[in-house]
Amino acid sequence: MIDLHTHSIFSDGELVPSELARRAVFKGYRAVAITDHADHSNFDFIIPRIIEVCSRISAHGSIVALPGVEITHVDPGDIEKLAKDARGLGAKIVVVHGETIVEPVIPGTNRAALESPIDILAHPGLITEEEVRLAAKNSVFLEISTRKGHSLTNGHVAMLARKCGAKLVLNTDSHAPDDLMDRDMARIIAAGAGLSDDEIDAMFKNSEYLVEKNK
């Protein structure tokens, strides 16, 4: 299992990064990205600390831990600069909090994210076909989310990704220990979104690609 969207106590998660990683190992994870919520107020606080702890976790060899960030609820006009700033500070996985239907995300966030140097657009909600084509063009991965609420539009995202040739990744958006899951349950949730076995395998390979590219 590879999970490129999780949260620690550095935003609204329940666990310190080391325990998050340990519990991920127990669930059978091979790699995890710690992508705490960030805006202008906390970039310089979160990213260096996540980089340090991910380096220590990875050095012990049980799991690859990648430092990341999730740009969250910012004005769409600020996303590109924040993404570049995150890269400059050393974030390996840059996620943007997409227009999920269960939170009041600013309209235009999905499009601004897809025009920025990011890796993953998380839980993009009722993303438009035009935006999915932009994701395919700009090699931004769209998320199939296992998280309650965010997962309600997985079928819509999967359908348009198939139609437009956009690439998918599956993430848990974990905030608590029980949010982590094994690969078998991840496959079940992906199948529930309408993905075939071959599409699920390809989605998991996309996550492997991002880990190999950034570790």
- Interval 93-110: pLDDT, tens: 999 999 999 999 999 999
Q: Which pLDDT score is estimated for 215? A: 87
Kindly tell me the sign of the dihedral angle through the C-alpha atoms of 200, 206, 212, 215: negative
What whole-number distance in Å separates Cα of residue 185 and Cα of residue 200? Answer: 12
In order of 13, 118, 144, 208, the CA distances from 138 in angstroms are 30, 9, 18, 19
Read off the pLDDT band of 180 (50, 70, 90): very high
Model pLDDT, residue 50: 97
Question: What is the average pLDDT across 147-159?
Answer: 98
pTM, full prediction: 0.98
Question: CB of 70 within 8 A of CB of 95?
Answer: yes
In the prediction, which pLDDT does 29 show?
98
Give the integer Cα–Cα distance in Å for 25 and 189.
20
The average pLDDT across 39-65 equals 96
Return mean pLDDT, the chain.
Answer: 98
Q: Domain of 58?
A: 2-214
Q: How many domains does the chain have?
A: 1
- Helices 183-192 and 154-164: crossing angle in degrees, nearest 10, is 80
> Residue 56 is part of a domain; what is its CATH number?
3.20.20.140
In one-letter notation, the amino acid at residue 185 is: M
